[in-house]
């Protein structure tokens, strides 16, 4: 029930754009942006601790959060995608 209608692509859908308003923006900031910042801070700490070591790190988070994470990695450290695997956590 929680996961109904939460499929997400890398860019906002038409419905997402059309249903946004001021109240939604405040909720979205709290639920997504604040939570994403905690995740990004953790990724940054892991990155800094690893220095020049080669590591593989998996990030298990909801798809909406990965938009911010991907943008952060691309912009901050110029990461690129070499390989991606989709893992289904649960079926609807």
**Residue closest to 41 by CA, chosen among 9, 12, 84, 76:** 76
| Residue pLDDT tens, the chain, 92 long | 455 555 656 677 777 777 777 777 777 777 777 888 888 999 999 888 888 888 787 787 777 778 888 889 999 999 888 887 777 777 76
User: Residue 92 in contact with residue 4, Cβ under 8 Å?
Assistant: yes
Tokens 């390989």 sit at which residue? 83
pLDDT score for 75: 94
pLDDT score for 41: 93
User: Residue 59 in contact with residue 66, Cβ under 8 Å?
Assistant: yes
Q: Is the dihedral of CA 47, 50, 51, 52 positive or negative?
A: negative
Q: Which two tokens stand for residue 26?
A: 């405040």
pLDDT score for 40: 92
Per-domain residue ranges for the chain?
Answer: 22-77
């Amino acid at each position: 029930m929680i996961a109904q209608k939460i499929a997400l692509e890398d860019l906002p859908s038409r419905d997402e754009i059309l249903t946004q308003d001021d109240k939604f923006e405040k909720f979205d900031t709290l639920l997504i942006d604040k939570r994403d910042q905690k995740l990004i801070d953790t990724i940054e700490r892991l990155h800094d601790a690893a220095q020049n070591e080669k590591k593989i790190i998996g990030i298990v988070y909801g798809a909406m959060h990965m938009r911010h994470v991907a943008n952060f990695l691309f912009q901050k450290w110029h990461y690129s995608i070499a390989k991606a695997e989709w893992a289904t956590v649960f079926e609807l």
